[in-house]
Structure 1
Amino acid sequence: MKKVGYLVLVVMLFSVFAACSNSAKESKTITIGWLPNESGEDIKSAREEIGKLVEKATGKKVEHKTTTDYIIAIESVANGNVDIAYLGAQGYIEAKNKNKKVEPLVIPSGKSGTAKDAVYYSWIAVKKGNEAPYMDGDKFKLDNIAGKKFSFVSNSSTSGFKVPSDGIVTYFNKQDKYKDLKKDDLLEGGSSNFFSEVLYGGSHQGSAVNLLADKVDAAAFCDTCVSNYVGLESGTDNRPGAVYKVKDDAAEPFDTVKGGEFSLISVTPVLNAPFVVNTDKVSADTIKKLVDAFTSAETTANQNIFVSKESGKKGIFAKTDKEAFVVVDDAFFNPVRELSN
């Protein structure tokens, strides 16, 4: 039954793609856009491995477009300057709002090899040693982040703004003093605002470094984007109280804060990020080739795409069990859309 359901979903997606892209005038080159988090030189080989997959599947040359700004990556796929992009859920939603012909291609699955557990984690962290104000007995609480200096990633980031800001507002709305607090109130700092100062890292790595460099008291960033640079020092992975330490061989931008440690005070699961495609630029036939290639057994077994911790390689996608790329439709991202309501 699972296979039947999957086939029905694929057929439905291809019907949408066909309707949108029968007239697509394809270039001999496919351009892939990357968010700042995946644009670092240290994971260039991981980007190129995805490029090889796309070239083999389509017979087209691949060009990579790295960015230093979320908005640039989102705009690029929406306006057709790139054909495919790897965006967060919120980035996809924003791109689709700008251009209805942007569709999800695949997402990395969870450990089960399905979309059921396809999540990563949004963290709010403080420097190790600064946990006490955020604790009530052995539990962590957010109360004392009010009035502090805080770092987000970008207001277009799912796990670096959308999810943590929603969590903060939901938590503080229960208090009379903050019953009218809105997410927009967190965008800027000031003496009369919720935070005294708000910084944006521009990437998850940048937000983490803002914290470790003592520019802020607390920061939001995600687990997967910093996993190449930090290791679990104590506690349970992806749980409040866990302490992470920057590796001695950490690449930029963590090379300036080697040995730095931070503690998690809040952890929230987030829907995995999709590769998305502009169906006005890429034909239904090419999209089918791409989906077949991404979801193939060969790709699932490719240790340069799904990288195990034991390999010592730096990648974008982790291999801990049955991780693979899987097909989802637009409705999969509705839980993130609902955070804006």
Structure 2
Amino acid sequence: MKKLALMLLCMAMTVVFAGCSFTANSESDDTLTIAWLPNESGADLVEAREEIGKMIKEKTGKKVEHQTTTDYIVAIEAIANGNADMAFLGAQGFIEANNKNDKVLPLVVPSGESGTLEDAVYYSWLAVEKENTDQYKNGDEFAIDNINGKRFSFVSNSSTSGFKVPSTGITDYFTEKKEFKSLTAEDLLEGGEDKFFSEVLFGGSHQGSAVNLLSGKADVAAFCDTCVNNYIELADGEVNEPGAVYKVKEDAAEPLNTVAGKEFSLISVTPVLNAPFVINTGTVSEEDQKMLLEIMTSDEVANNEKIFVPEDYEFSGLFSKKSGKERLVEVEDEWFNPIRELAK
């Protein structure tokens, strides 16, 4: 794997100032603060966030404050510097927070249909507008050869499925070709005439990256299935398979309401380790850590239809389209080592 340069100097400065914008709640023993990435910070998920907060309050007696964000870096910095006690981050976001503060550790992840870690994955997509699908085929097979020179949208360079996984996949594929043998993930961060992409955009969230594609700002976009499931429906093909066509629901919530009815096709699909809820063990007592683990892995959470939404429900929950034994399960730090390996 190629070395990934995940942080630009200007982003690093953003971290310093953005993280400081939070009011530290860890000093108050009666309050637990949960930081949320932009993908889960929307108004459509208010009830899902509040359900988790309500359960924590009922079991611990603590007041729960939700810190919603518009930038990955703010949430990562908040949990790392102790201004949040708990956070729902992608695998890459957790690794970055853990690198900053080794007291940030994973608590649970959503399982797969089996109810275990065995199939605890979601999918990173590369998508194009439906009418442009044929540009990304090699015979009858889908291929990414023609993404070179296109306008490309990532999510954030701290996103696992919206940057880390797709950038690794792109560099691994193209460095097999003589003309791109020295291509690195860092080369994909910026567009231009002499760059791999003609233009590079960052959606700020998976929903934002999808909007970049469907509003015509980007030719190809990276985003994941779970973060846009509440906004789309399968129009043709097989779920999570190249060639599948999805349509934005007519009543889609913000920000996809601006591209309602638009269709896109998948040209690449890659499984990714599920995202963890993490805690800062420096601000959360051992007693509360045990209680949080008990709460999050409980049947009460697993059976809450505002958190794990049944497959045929229209409600916008945190985890949509539950079709099996999905629940939150305990996870150890080492489980995320495959994502760490991508940086080597």
TM-score (normalizing by structure 2): 0.91
Structure 1 residue 293: Cα displacement: 1.0
Aligned pairs (5 A) from 1:113-132: 113-132=115-134
Counterpart amino acid of residue 204 in structure 1? H
Q: Equivalent residue for 1:184?
A: 186
Moved more, 226-235 or 54-63: 54-63
Conserved 8 A contact 2:106-2:279: yes
CA distance in 1 between counterparts of 2:233 and 2:135 reads 24
Number of the residue aligned with 2:238: 236
Cα distance in 2, alignment partners of residues 299 and 147 from structure 1 = 46
1-side partners of 2:325 and 2:189: how far apart?
A: 38
- Who is 2:337 aligned against? 334
**Separation in 2, partners of 1:270, 1:153:** 15
1:29 and 1:214 map into 2 onto residues whose CA distance is 44
Structure-2 residue corresponding to 1:49 = 51
CA distance in 1, matches of 2:29, 2:189: 40
Amino acid at match of 1:121: Y
- One-letter identity of the residue aligned with 2:158: S
1:302 CA displacement:
1.6
Q: Is the 8 A contact 1:39 1:68 kept in 2?
A: yes
Match of 1:13 in 2: none
Assess if the C-alpha contact under 8 Å between 2:207 and 2:256 holds in 1: yes
CA offset at residue 59 of structure 1? 1.1
Amino acid corresponding to residue 343 of structure 2 in structure 1: S
Please state how far the C-alpha of 1:298 moved relative to its aligned partner: 2.0
Q: Contact conserved, 1:152 with 1:199, CA < 8 A, in 2? A: yes
Instruction: Tell me the SS of whatever aligns to 2:70.
Output: coil
Residue by residue, what CA displacement relative to the aligned partner does 1:76-108 show, whole Å, maximum 9, x if unpaired? 000011100000000000000000000001001
Q: Which amino acid aligns with 2:190?
A: E
Residue equivalent to 1:261 = 263
Counterpart amino acid of residue 43 in structure 2: E
Matches within 5 A, 1:108-187: 108-187=110-189
Shift of 1:309: 2.8
Structure 2 distance, partners of 1:64, 1:238, is 32
* 1:328 partner letter: V
Which residue of structure 2 aligns with residue 323 of structure 1? 326
Aligned residue for 1:211? 213
Hey, what's the Cα distance between the residues in 1 that align with 2:311 and 2:165?
Answer: 27
Other-structure match for 2:314: 312
Distance in 1, Cα, partners of 2:99 & 2:341: 14
Structure 1: which 5+ runs fail to align?
A: 1-23
Q: 5+ residue gaps in structure 2?
A: 1-25
Q: Which amino acid aligns with 2:334?
A: A
Q: 1:265 Cα shift?
A: 0.2
CA contact (8 A) 1:154 1:200 kept: yes
Q: Is the 8 A contact 1:32 1:62 kept in 2?
A: yes
Shift of 1:57: 2.2
Offset of residue 130 of structure 1: 0.2
Percent identity between the two aligned chains: 64
Q: Verify the 8 A CA contact 1:32 1:63 in the aligned structure 2.
A: yes
**SS state of the match for residue 52, structure 1?**
helix
- Give 1:26 deviation, angstroms: 5.6
Q: Which residue of 2 aligns with 1:64?
A: 66
SS at match of 1:264: strand
Match of residue 29 from structure 2: 27
CA RMSD of aligned residues (A): 1.0
Instruction: Measure, in 1, the Cα distance between the counterparts of 2:236 and 2:312.
Output: 19
Q: Which is worse superposed, 259-268 or 290-299?
A: 290-299
Q: 1:43, CA displacement in angstroms?
A: 1.1
Counterpart CA distance in 1 for 2:270 and 2:223 is 11
Aligned-pair distance for 1:311? Answer: 2.4
Q: How many Å separate the matches in 2 of 1:338 and 1:91?
A: 14
Partner of 2:272: 270
Q: Deviation per CA, 1:179-226, whole angstroms, max 9, x where unpaired?
A: 110000000001111001000000000000000000011000000000
- What letter is aligned with 1:108? P
Separation in structure 1 between the aligned mates of residue 28 and residue 337 of structure 2, nearest angstrom:
30
Tell me the equivalent position of 2:295. Answer: 293
For 1:74 and 1:123, the matched residues in 2 are separated by 23
2:153–2:200 CA contact under 8 A, matched in 1: yes
Using the alignment, how far apart are the partners of 1:272 and 1:57 within structure 2? 26
Counterpart CA distance in 1 for 2:260 and 2:84 is 35
Aligned positions, number? 318
1:279 aligns with 2:258: no
**Residue identity opposite 1:337 in structure 2:** R
2:223 aligns to what SS in structure 1? strand
